[in-house]
């Protein structure tokens, strides 16, 4: 059993926690970066809740994407890096650089430290947001596609992901030559929570289960289970063929929000009694966008737009097999109820 050391950035996050668990289960030692050392205890408790007492196989390093300090020390002695950390604001930022700078500059800091430390390969968590925005295609999006960061009205988040990933590829083509890079581009990540940090996708399900969405807009996006995304990170880290490649991670065809709501109702029964499958009129979404920067940047440009993506490359090249989207959604709801974020009572 291998005891190579793997650095996982943003260790307290939803996906990072599952990446750490996957690595520990596969026999690796892990060093996780945290901005706040006080987050170590909740991380260890979250792993224990999943049946993993990490002990001394888990180390913690303090580092911040916006600061140079700590990254070289964090990467020292590591065979691999999974760079999972990236900023995601709950609402549209007033200044897009609040997202772009930590994503792009932070990625460069991690790659520079990994190169200096002699790391074999970095697996970067990018996003479908770096693939499928700012330009339309008539086929399912795949790894050949790139978000047009210069598109008028493009929201800060997809711009940040596209620019950060571009910066990563530019680095390994330039000063980082010799460092291998693989990139994972997941769609919306759902699935069971390990701890109490709620990502944007988890908050969406919570909002639906709470009954705070009386109707859903005509939006559609991809769904993938967090356990499968962590598994894809591990495959992209260890498979020789994955070096220099991007891998789009989606569990299947994109779903409308109405279909997502119906999947929750079908899978959770009475626990999803407050979930609405009514569809919000487009004119009302556009009206709300006049008063909400979040609605204006995130929802309105995609309203009523049919889009899809494929993970055929990851499945064919790496043997990756994701769970069905409905299973990921139901697992999200079940863990929200189990952890007390959502009351199971009827409306």
88, pLDDT greater than 70: no
Mean pLDDT in residue range 256-266: 97
89, pLDDT greater than 70: no
CA dihedral sign of residues 50, 185, 309, 264? positive
pLDDT digits (tens, 9 = 90+) for 218-232: 999 999 999 999 999
Whether 161 sits among the annotated catalytic residues: the reply is: yes
The rounded distance, in Å, linking the Cα atoms of 245 and 236 is: 9
Task: Work out the pLDDT band at 295, boundaries 50, 70, 90.
Answer: low
pLDDT digits (tens, 9 = 90+) for 182-206: 999 999 999 999 988 888 899 999 9
DSSP conformation letters of 324-337: PHHHHHHHHHHHHH
Pick the range with the lowest mean pLDDT from 30-34, 74-78, 100-104, 189-193. Answer: 100-104
Pick the range with the lowest mean pLDDT from 166-170, 286-290, 330-334. Answer: 286-290
pLDDT digits (tens, 9 = 90+) for 156-176: 889 999 999 999 999 999 999
User: What long-range pairs does 320-323 form, CB within 8 A, spacing at least 24?
Assistant: 320/228, 320/231, 320/232, 320/235, 320/247, 320/249, 321/228, 322/224, 322/225, 322/228, 322/249, 322/250, 322/251, 322/252, 323/225, 323/227, 323/228, 323/251
The CATH number linked to 67 is 3.40.50.720
Residue 5: phi and psi, rounded to 5, are -95, 130
Is residue 110 a part of any domain in this protein? Answer: yes
Is residue 341 a part of any domain in this protein? Answer: no
Domain of 318 in residue numbering reads as 5-198+223-251+308-323
Confidence (pTM): 0.93
Task: Please report the pLDDT score of residue 210 as a whole number.
Answer: 95
Task: Please report the pLDDT score of residue 5 as a whole number.
Answer: 98
Average per-residue pLDDT for the chain: 91
Residue of 94, 159, 161, 206 with catalytic role: 161
Task: Please report the pLDDT score of residue 198 as a whole number.
Answer: 86
The rounded distance, in Å, linking the Cα atoms of 184 and 104 is: 16
Pick the range with the lowest mean pLDDT from 39-43, 115-119, 212-216. Answer: 212-216
**CB 85, CB 195: distance < 8 Å:** no
Residue 122: phi and psi, rounded to 5, are -110, 130
Task: Please report the pLDDT score of residue 291 as a whole number.
Answer: 59
Task: Please report the pLDDT score of residue 92 as a whole number.
Answer: 59
The rounded distance, in Å, linking the Cα atoms of 278 and 296 is: 21
The rounded distance, in Å, linking the Cα atoms of 258 and 80 is: 40
Task: Please report the pLDDT score of residue 197 as a whole number.
Answer: 83
What percent of the chain shows pLDDT beyond 70? 92
Q: How far is CA 233 from CA 27, 125, 184, 248, 325, in A?
A: 15, 8, 7, 11, 19
Mean pLDDT in residue range 13-20: 96
Mean pLDDT in residue range 97-120: 93
| Complete edge-to-edge strand list for the sheet that includes strand 58-62 | 58-62, 29-34, 5-8, 80-83, 121-125, 180-186, 246-249
Is residue 331 a part of any domain in this protein? Answer: no
The rounded distance, in Å, linking the Cα atoms of 295 and 39 is: 32
Task: Please report the pLDDT score of residue 1 as a whole number.
Answer: 47
Structural domains in the chain (count): 1
Task: Work out the pLDDT band at 264, boundaries 50, 70, 90.
Answer: very high
- Integer-rounded Cα radius of gyration of the chain: 20
Task: Please report the pLDDT score of residue 344 as a whole number.
Answer: 67
Is residue 294 a part of any domain in this protein? Answer: no
Mean pLDDT in residue range 20-36: 97
Mean pLDDT in residue range 305-331: 96
Residue 221, helix vs strand vs coil = strand
Is residue 150 a part of any domain in this protein? Answer: yes
- The alpha carbon of residue 117 and the mean position of all alpha carbons in its chain are separated, in whole angstroms, by 26
Residue 233, helix vs strand vs coil = helix
How many other β-carbons are positioned within 10 Å of the β-carbon of residue 113? Answer: 23
Mean pLDDT in residue range 86-96: 65
What percent of the chain shows pLDDT beyond 90? 79
Task: Please report the pLDDT score of residue 347 as a whole number.
Answer: 47
Task: Please report the pLDDT score of residue 299 as a whole number.
Answer: 59
């Amino acid at each position: 059993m291998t005891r190579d050391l793997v650095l996982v950035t943003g260790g307290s996050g939803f996906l990072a926690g599952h990446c750490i668990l996957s690595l520990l289960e596969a026999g690796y030692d892990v060093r996780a970066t945290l901005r706040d050392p006080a987050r170590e205890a909740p991380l260890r408790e979250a792993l224990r809740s999943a049946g993993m007492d990490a002990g001394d196989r888990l180390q913690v390093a303090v580092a911040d994407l916006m600061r140079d300090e700590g990254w070289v020390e964090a990467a020292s002695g590591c065979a691999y890096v999974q760079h999972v950390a990236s900023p995601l604001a709950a609402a549209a930022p007033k200044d897009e650089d609040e997202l772009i700078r930590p994503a792009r500059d932070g990625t460069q800091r991690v790659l520079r430290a990994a190169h200096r430390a002699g790391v074999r390969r970095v697996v970067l968590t990018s996003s479908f947001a770096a693939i499928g925005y700012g330009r339309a295609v008539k086929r399912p999006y795949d790894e050949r596609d790139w978000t047009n960061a210069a598109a008028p009205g493009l929201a800060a988040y997809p711009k940040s992901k596209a620019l950060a990933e571009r910066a990563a590829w530019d680095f390994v083509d330039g000063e980082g030559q010799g460092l291998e890079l693989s990139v994972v581009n997941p769609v919306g990540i759902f699935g069971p929570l390990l701890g109490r940090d709620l990502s944007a996708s988890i908050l969406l399900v919570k909002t639906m289960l709470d009954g705070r969405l009386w109707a859903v807009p005509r939006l559609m996006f991809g769904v993938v289970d967090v356990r499968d995304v962590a598994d894809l990170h591990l495959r992209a880290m260890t498979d020789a063929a994955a070096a220099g490649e991007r891998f789009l991670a989606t569990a299947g065809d994109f779903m409308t929000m109405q279909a997502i709501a119906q999947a929750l109702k079908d899978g959770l029964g009475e626990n999803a009694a407050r979930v609405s499958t009514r569809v919000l009129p487009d004119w009302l979404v556009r009206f709300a966008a006049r008063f909400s920067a979040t609605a204006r940047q995130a929802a309105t440009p995609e309203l009523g737009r049919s889009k899809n993506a494929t993970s055929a490359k990851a499945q064919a090249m790496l043997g990756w097999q994701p769970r069905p989207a409905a299973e990921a959604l139901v697992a999200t709801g079940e863990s929200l109820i189990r952890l007390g974020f959502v009351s199971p009572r009827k409306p």
